[in-house]
Structure 1
């Protein structure tokens, strides 16, 4: 019971460590990533366009001077001043505002999608770094193990129970591991650069990686339902924006109303005295702009209908793709767990074989070819275990992206 409790506490501590470390990197990436920032700026622009949609057409002002002054009964007309304001049909401004608002909502979803994709990219890059770091630790441990084997071999050579060839084989194997270790160091630097790029910081910035990850034991409940995923919701918002655009199109096909006022100053007559001499002219006006040739609006309506069909087809296609990716990720996590558990059993068996070899040394006989074989097997099992761990958490990140678990 104590061992079980200790194991559970260890898994809990591991989950807390990865949650704190990785989550902090994700938050930093969301705050600094240029792509996310670009989508946020785009959203703010679309918000400004909602206010822009409320504006009315420009007020028209005009003034004219009569070169040849028209003579009227009350006097000569000197100048002409006009002011005119066109107004869209009732509800057109509201429809334009609703359309701009629907486009803004779509841009907001793009931010959510970009953040989800960034979370996935950061997580998978983090697990790659974990695998490299874990492999480095395994190689360092195996190098130390080979050094101890080399000391045993040297002692056996001195008493005539082993040959110098065995010592050379152990040294060659150690050199190969040192080479692999240096390659991993370079790979870690390269992958750290990729990781830091996602966080939009200097590529040589230090990256802290959790020391050990374990795969949970037992069956995990994973939903295969995508739910209201932002990538699918985006198509619903696009469909709604087309609906709003069609409503705007119908409103814009209606007549536009215009209201204006003309003012004409009139000079007084000097040749005779008459009533209302020099009385200025004030003329209110109403105008109506009618779309007689409205093929444009009919064409837009037909395009909107086709665009809706296109959006629904794209949504169905995207949903099928995401569902297939989700199912594949779920199966891959189970495969990783199987591989992980297999490597644990293999490592246990290899450890037993190693114990037998050490006991043989105590009795005076040891086959260093067998030592190298067992050590090679242990190294391969450890690498496969690390790879299974990386695959498991990488696929869990995919599941989290798709099902928000």
Structure 2
């Protein structure tokens, strides 16, 4: 029941993400699908999987048939005549079940390779989402800077009026102008960073670098987080890959046991015999046909014993690697969850501080109406307000980026 509730909350959260992105010309889920279809890394892993699958046909064969032809330069004489030439054919056959074991082994390697595709797709979804949220945060910060520049222009107008009536100095005007220059510089730098991130985003989708990415206008943190089911992490493809690698070693050992068995060979020799001149008897010039059966026995089998030991050691290594990766994923999940909680706390604090900064701004405006205003206080409040707005945007971005990491780990 608890798992069902967790799943429902996850679905609600994903629906919420789609809802907040509506109205945007390029929704995130559409962009993700485009990336999955066009990303060259995904295509690379898919081709590797197809190549690994094709190897099943390669191993479904028996050893080459051996043919031999010999000509007697000095023809040996026999009772029935001189031997002229010899033709032979030989076919070795592996022990029963060896070919099937080879197919199972290669198929298990292909299954492990398939997990690379699943992992790459998950990572791509996370990368596209995180890049998208970086673009959103950058754009939102540029808009905040634009608003603050306009606000400083309003204050500059007030300062010029105050200078005319002798209630402010020209220095106040210059300070306001310098502050505007600083904010414009920050905005220009952000714009360049946006272009760099946009190039990264377009490369993830394998399209031209200068394609404009339109991000959502606003994002909000949902009122409630979806529940994290830590048990799902055990089913993560990064861990399932280790299970399939372990199984491939089991198949490798079965194949090793089969290959350590004897091989059976069947052959046929044909010797052409010429007739003896001036002689008349029933077998004169009769050709020789000789069927043969051979057995190849691996008497010196240290190779196979060593392979068995190597397989056992490799299975132990894979078990240790899986546990190491599980610990790393659990650490990453816990970190992402804590940082997401911290982002929610930070967002609430910045919202409260921002409201108080706006209240202080209103007080300053009312002070101007009474004939007194301290433009140093104006700059201080404006700087605080900008800081809170930037931190608020960063908190929203962090929340969604960490949610993306959580989804990568447990969905």
2:24 and 2:214 in contact (8 A); partners too: no
Q: 1:327 aligns with which of 322, 325, 334?
A: 334
Question: 2:404 — aligned with what?
Answer: 397
Q: 1:32 aligns with which of 33, 38, 44?
A: 38
- Which stretch of the first structure deviates more once superposed, 265-274 or 302-311? 265-274
Deviation of 1:17 (Å) = 5.4
Q: Deviations over 1:144-187 (max 9, x none)?
A: 11111111222222233322222222111111111111111111
Question: 1:304 — aligned with what?
Answer: 311
1:103 and 1:238 in contact (8 A); partners too: yes
Q: Deviations over 1:200-249 (max 9, x none)?
A: 33322222221111111134312223131000001000100000000000
1:11 and 1:214 in contact (8 A); partners too: no
- Which stretch of the first structure deviates more once superposed, 10-19 or 199-208? 10-19
Question: 2:216 — aligned with what?
Answer: 210
What does residue range 178-327 of structure 1 map to in structure 2 within 5 Å?
A: 178-225=184-231, 226-327=233-334
Q: 1:99 aligns with which of 95, 99, 105?
A: 105
Question: 1:3 — aligned with what?
Answer: none
Structure 2 Cα separation of the partners of residues 15 and 220 of structure 1: 18
**TM-score of the two chains, using structure 1 as the length reference:** 0.93
What does residue range 21-170 of structure 1 map to in structure 2 within 5 Å?
A: 21-170=27-176
- Which stretch of the first structure deviates more once superposed, 340-349 or 117-126? 117-126
2:21 and 2:27 in contact (8 A); partners too: no
1:261 and 1:285 in contact (8 A); partners too: yes
2:133 and 2:400 in contact (8 A); partners too: yes
Gap change, CA 1:109 and 1:163, over 3 Å in 2: same
Could you say what secondary structure the match of 1:265 adopts?
strand
Structure 1 Cα separation of the partners of residues 239 and 18 of structure 2: 34
1:120 and 1:401 in contact (8 A); partners too: yes
Deviation of 1:52 (Å) = 0.4
Structure 2 Cα separation of the partners of residues 246 and 352 of structure 1: 75
Q: 1:362 aligns with which of 362, 369, 378?
A: 369
- Which stretch of the first structure deviates more once superposed, 107-116 or 22-31? 22-31
Q: Deviations over 1:340-359 (max 9, x none)?
A: 11111111111112122222
Deviation of 1:296 (Å) = 0.3
1:224 and 1:327 in contact (8 A); partners too: no
Structure 2 Cα separation of the partners of residues 229 and 12 of structure 1: 24
Q: Deviations over 1:106-148 (max 9, x none)?
A: 1111111111112222222222221111110000010111111
Could you say what secondary structure the match of 2:283 adopts?
coil
Question: 2:6 — aligned with what?
Answer: none
Deviation of 1:364 (Å) = 2.4
Structure 1 Cα separation of the partners of residues 156 and 410 of structure 2: 52
Structure 1 Cα separation of the partners of residues 130 and 17 of structure 2: 20
User: Which residues of structure 1 form unaligned runs of 5+?
Assistant: 1-8
Aligned residues: 396
Question: 1:6 — aligned with what?
Answer: none
Deviation of 1:10 (Å) = 9.7
User: Which residues of structure 2 form unaligned runs of 5+?
Assistant: 1-14
Q: Deviations over 1:75-132 (max 9, x none)?
A: 2221111111111000000000000000001111111111111222222222222111
